[in-house]
Structures are given as structure tokens and as C-alpha cells.
Amino acid sequence: MKKNKVAKQFLKEFSEVPFVSFACQKVGVSRNTIYKWRREDPDFKREMDRAERAGTESITDVAQSKLLMHVARGMPWAIQFLLRNRHKNYAYPRVQGFEDDLTEKKKITGFRVTIVKPEDKQSPIKNDDSEKPNDLSTNINQDRSTSP
């Protein structure tokens, strides 16, 4: 088949269900071929992006209608999900800028871990520091000394 015909069929399938593997299987073309066309052909890339947006809107509409169907049937999980995500009075607090942090490509340079010991003396967590070394390097060195 010619590239143009296959590309057109792929874009049609992809605009209905925006999953590359699924559309490739329906058309009979490999993912590698699609991604090669995307890299090499700016028009194909633009059309593929447009098809992905259309397909995402389509499956989102289907998902929302299914959710509303479950809400209408009185399913508690669906009601809770809808209220938490669509009504400010029921929403979980969200960190401002959190979504932006997910979309930006940032390099993680470090992290901090804080261990909080329970204040309750009857806590089920047993804290026996006397048997465990405080320094991780001690564990690593001990493991190396036993290895051949």
C-alpha cells in the first residue's frame, strides 16, 4: 500500500481511539513506521497531533457518559469521584502549580526524607535501634565483607 493511503487510514483510526498500537494494528502498519513518518514528515506530525486531540476528546466523552450513568444509578464511588473533581466544596486541597510541575521537564537534584517517630508509647511499631547500625555505609561494608 502507498504511504499516503496507509497514513490516511492510520490517522482516521487514531482520531477515533488515540492509541498508536491500536491504530497500527487496525491498519496493519508498525509503530516504528508511524514514528519514522512522524519524525520525517512535519505535515504528518501535525495531522497526527490533531487526530490525537480529536481521539482524546472522543474517549473522554465516552468515559464521562459512563461516569454519569453510574452516578444516575446511585453508585457511591462515582458520586464521590464526580463531586471531588467537579465541585470546589468537595475537592481535595490541591497544591498550586502541581500540574505545572508535572508537565515541565525538571531534573530532580535531591530529596529529603523525614522519619517521624510515634509519640504514643503503645504504638505497634517496634523501634529497636540497638540491633541496627545507624549508618548505611556500615551495612554496605558488612555486606561486602561477606561476599566472595
C-alpha cell at 31: 509503530
CA dist 122 and 55 (Å) reads 55
Query: pTM to 2 decimals?
Result: 0.53
pLDDT band (50, 70, 90) for residue 146: very low
Greatest distance between any 2 Cα atoms in the chain: 74
Rounded to the nearest 10 degrees, the angle between the axes of helix 20-27 and helix 3-16 is: 130
Task: Give pLDDT tens digits for 110-131.
Answer: 667 777 776 655 545 554 544 4
Q: Which residues contact 44 (CB under 8 A, 6 or more apart)?
A: 7, 37, 38
Q: What length is written for the chain?
A: 148
Would you call 122 helix, strand, or coil by DSSP? Answer: coil
134 pLDDT exceeds 70?
Answer: no
Task: Give pLDDT tens digits for 48-96.
Answer: 999 999 999 989 888 999 999 999 999 999 998 888 887 777 777 766 6
How do the domains of the chain map onto residue ranges?
3-93
Bigger pLDDT: 127 or 6?
Answer: 6
- The DSSP H or E segment spanning 43 is helix 42-72
Check if the beta carbon of residue 84 is closer than 8 Å to that of residue 92: yes
Helices and strands per DSSP (H, E), number in the chain: 7, 0
